[in-house]
Structure 1
């Protein structure tokens, strides 16, 4: 799919000159409010669809369609910070409050109090730091959801996890060429 350009405003910078998590949140909220852009995303009843966007300050951004009952599975963003906002429908984010080590483990037992859940409907979003582990779900049985996501620096990799109760297991490390 072709790249889509969205309007940019000057963004607050983080320590290395890239956009901060709050600047990314501002971007995804503004972009989620662009009804023409959101309507341009082809929706597939079988799987997620996406368009890559030009994010602010060299960030990576995506417009993503979520069929009913789909989700990401547990993952992190390879050390990038980011933000996402729901443009239409409703998404549920389940996340961990614990910072996980990034290397040297395959299985971790999580403490009882690390789970968080939030529901984001039209226009609502959230920012997150570089050690954020979560899964995003469209729990609706009948309605598509659409969201906008942005990451800085552009995703160097994503780690995929499985979860069985309190046990989190590293299953795969994906490289950017696997997402296009």
Structure 2
């Protein structure tokens, strides 16, 4: 998200289990609530789909014809979430999510996801030769979404000539870093490691 122009944050209330108030009685002490479990990929996908269907929230995102914009949201179970606007012809470039799992859903327009159907080692290399047949392409129109695991490498693009797209994304744990890659044919090269604050 480093090429985008940030918009003012507009947090939503966190969804998911809320702690119950402690109760005391003559036969027991205060009750305690265990911490909420980490959200699964399916729960992240449910969240991004439901949020993408919130027309009022989607309409609150300022759109810029020249660059991506975003609002940070509170995701389920302490996850990090974003709503992102994509002008025509914009994209992320190849990247991963630093070991976090995640999900995203398109709210408006259509996005294309190019991904690698292979578990990419995250450390110990600068250039990696990809095997044949690892490339996957998905087109996600409004209402469509997908979840992914912690070793996912992809790029997301708005290939439209004239339509702005909007999407919702969630990651758990919150992104510790993002690795950015360049690609030439079968060669994937690590170009940069970004830390939180460098893409916000």
Same fold (TM over 0.5): yes
Other-structure match for 1:3: 10
Other-structure match for 1:148: 168
Question: C-alpha displacement at 1:179, in angstroms?
Answer: 1.6
- Matches of 1:94 and 1:72 in 2, distance apart? 11
Q: Give 3-state SS (helix, strand or coil) of 1:178's partner.
A: coil
Other-structure match for 1:120: 140
Q: Give 3-state SS (helix, strand or coil) of 2:45's partner.
A: helix
TM-score normalised by L of structure 1: 0.95
Q: CA RMSD in A?
A: 1.4
Is the CA contact 1:3–1:54 (under 8 Å) kept in the aligned structure 2? no
CA deviation vs aligned residue, 1:151-177 (integer Å, no higher than 9, x gap): 000000000000000000000000011
Highest Rg: 1 or 2? 2
Structure 1, gaps ≥5 residues long: none
Other-structure match for 2:33: none
Structure 2, gaps ≥5 residues long: 1-7, 19-35
1:47 aligns with 2:67: yes
Higher strand share: 1
CA deviation vs aligned residue, 1:88-117 (integer Å, no higher than 9, x gap): 000000000111111110000001110000
The correspondence of residues 102-141 of structure 1 with structure 2, limited to 5 A, is 102-141=122-161
Q: Which of residues 4, 25, 37 in structure 1 aligns to 2:57? A: 37
Is the CA contact 2:14–2:77 (under 8 Å) kept in the aligned structure 1? no
